[in-house]
Every structure is written in structure tokens, then in C-alpha cells.
Structure 1
Amino acid sequence: MKRSRTSKAWMQEHVSDQFVKRANKEGYRSRAAYKLMELDERDKLIRPGMTVVDLGAAPGSWSQVVVERLKGSGRVIALDLLEMQGLPGVEFIRGDFTEAEILARLEELLQDSPVDLVISDMAPNMSGVASIDQARAMYLAELSLDFAWQWLKPQGNFLVKVFIGSGFDELVRTMKPEFNKVVIRKPKASRDRSAETYLLGLGRRQAGV
């Protein structure tokens, strides 16, 4: 099949992208690694000894960053619908986070132990219909937030990818009572033309506080 002009332009942009080149040179599985690095350097999200849950983990670049910054002390549990090549120090579950059975497997691994950080880079398979894609993306963000509410330790943090559009303001308003601070972040490695951004909930409040 002949490539469209759009696909050719995307490929050209991809191969010339500074973050793609860095990822290839430095051994990261995707350019997304630099998004988490920048956010961690700014907001001090990852520390040795933490338990971190990585939702939408494949191909594994965020888990790579977390493992490096835990420095051999801590735990990483990663989950994705797609297969992910194994990483030392990462426990991986392959499955659909929207399915109760997969969520139960994740919760079983946690063994009633709360977590310090939940990170979600999940995104739906895009249909090309903006309203449908936005609704699916917000649904994943809301499910991630529900999980974080249940499993984060007091003062734990939550990072989630979202897309500016319908439901965004409502999600921000929903998060604000649950965290000491909610901020919007757009890392440099996130392409300017992309509607993707990140919501960061800092300091999970205790119930009733």
C-alpha cells in the first residue's frame, strides 16, 4: 500500500526528533522517557524505597526511568494491554485495565499494601472521531484516578495523561479536593501540536481531611 503524505510526514518528523534520537542513543524504549524525567526533576516524584504502579506501561520507557531512580530499593508494577519486553525490577501484567479481572490481578499483587505513586500514560486506540476519542481518553483517566484514590498512601502522588477537551475541567475539579495541590504539566518531550498534557495530583489527602 502506498504511503500517504501524512504518514510520510510523520515518519520524517519521528526520525528527526531530538528525543527519539536521544532515546535510541541512551537505551530508552521510547521518547516518552524524557517526559517522566522532566516531571520527576521538577516535582520530585520518585525516591528510593517507593512502590510505583505504571499504567499503560508499554513499551516500558516510564518503567525504565522509575527503576533507575529507585536505585535498587522499591517496587514497580507495570500494566498494559500490549505485550512488554521484560525489565529487571519490574513486575508486569498484560491485560486491559478496564476489565475487572485484570484490576483484580493488579490488586492481588499489591497484597493490601498502599502505593506511593501511580503514573498513567494510557491512551485509547484512536478512532479518528474526536468526540469518541476524547471520551475514551477521559474514561481511562477517570479509572486511573479511581485506582489512585483507593491505593495511594496519604501524601502519595498521581500523574495521568489527559487530552485538552471535553471532560478536562471536570477531571481537574474532581481531583482538587483529593490532593493538596493539582497542577497541569506539558513536558518539553510532549509535541507542541499534540493536545496531550499531564495532570499531577500532589499529596493525597487523608479521608476526612
Structure 2
Amino acid sequence: MNICSQIKVGFVILMVCSRIVAAQSNRSNDSTVAKRDPYTIVVTVGGGLSYYSTHLGVPPGLEQVDVSRFGVPATVRAMWYPDHRLRLGLETGWTTMYSYRALANGQRSQVYVSAIPMLLVFSMPLAWLSGTERSLARRLSLTGGTGVYRIQSRLNYAGIVDARRYSLGWMMAGAYTQPIGRRIRVATELKWYDATATEDAVFGLQLQVVWRAFSW
């Protein structure tokens, strides 16, 4: 075999090897693109202060009425964080709606109303506003949901009478989350609960602990 033939054979071998390497590289890149980010279950527990923000209907004929619109709510939320922005979860807890004391026919009486939300919630971070790692937008999120409220009322007047009813409703919230460890974060959340059927609504401010329970 002369030198020209050897050069041609070597060139062909070089071309075949380069195509094999390119094909393997493309397959590796495709597998990297297809690989998803981890899924995470995140549990949030919090409490704070609430304010009953709608009209409070006190029955006529009562005297020395003392109304309290403030309460101390508690929240438990479990969220699934997939490898995209939209998150899905469940929320429950307990919140005071309102209470009042009064004199009815000269006898002391008291009414206390609270609610237990049972909601399907969705959450989304505002990360698309900025791509930098330490930007404020990456720590802000919006949450909304809908479901059922269990409204509980207690009347203390010549005995105790408890009543319960269910109301459809919704919730909206905005939160700021601050990392303090690899799996623990703290958050401040402004929240609006609205039980539409009973026309009860509460505005709340909560301090929350956010725990990344596990990932897969």
C-alpha cells in the first residue's frame, strides 16, 4: 500500500471515530436534558394574629356588648415541590373568627366563633422576576386555594350550645421565606381566609417554620 492509500485509510478511520464520539456525546446530552430535578415534600407550621374583617351581626336587644375581632390562628400545610414552579398541597389549621360578650335580659352571655379550613392550595414563587440567587424575588411566593371551612360557634347563655356548619370558601396569601439551614426555613405570611357561604372573612399575619421533609 502506497503512502497516498495509507493517508486515505487513516482519514476514513479518523472520520468514523469522530462520528462515533459525536453520537455518544449527543446521547449523553439528551440523557442530561431529560433528567429531572428532585421532587420535595415541604411541611409548613405556623401561627400568628388574625383580624375579623367583615360585618359582625350582633343580635339586637343586647346590652354592654364587648366585641373582639382578634384571634390567634394556626396553620399546617403540606406541599409537593416538583421540578417546575407550580406547587400543589393541602392546608388545614384553626382560626378565631370573632367573639363577643353581652347582657341578655340581665344575664351574662358569650358567643365565640372559630373555623377549621380544609383547602387544596397552589403556590408559585416569583423567581421569574429575577434570576440572581440572592434576589428578593426568589424568596417571595404567592399561594391560593379553595375548599371547605368548618365553622364552629359556641353560645354560653343559661347553658352551653355548640353549633357547626360547613361553608365553601377560598384563601389567598403572600409570603417571604428566609433560609436558615439546608432543610429549615422561616417565613412571614400575609393571609386572607374567606368563607363565602357564611360571609366570614379573616385577615392574618403568621410566622412559619418551613421544613423540607424529604426529597426523591
The interval holding the TM-score normalised by the smaller chain is under 0.3
Normalized against structure 1, the TM-score is what? 0.25
Normalized against structure 2, the TM-score is what? 0.25
Structure whose alpha-carbon radius of gyration is higher? 2
Q: Answer 1 or 2: higher relative contact order, Cα 8 Å, separation at least 6.
A: 2
Q: Which has the higher strand share?
A: 2
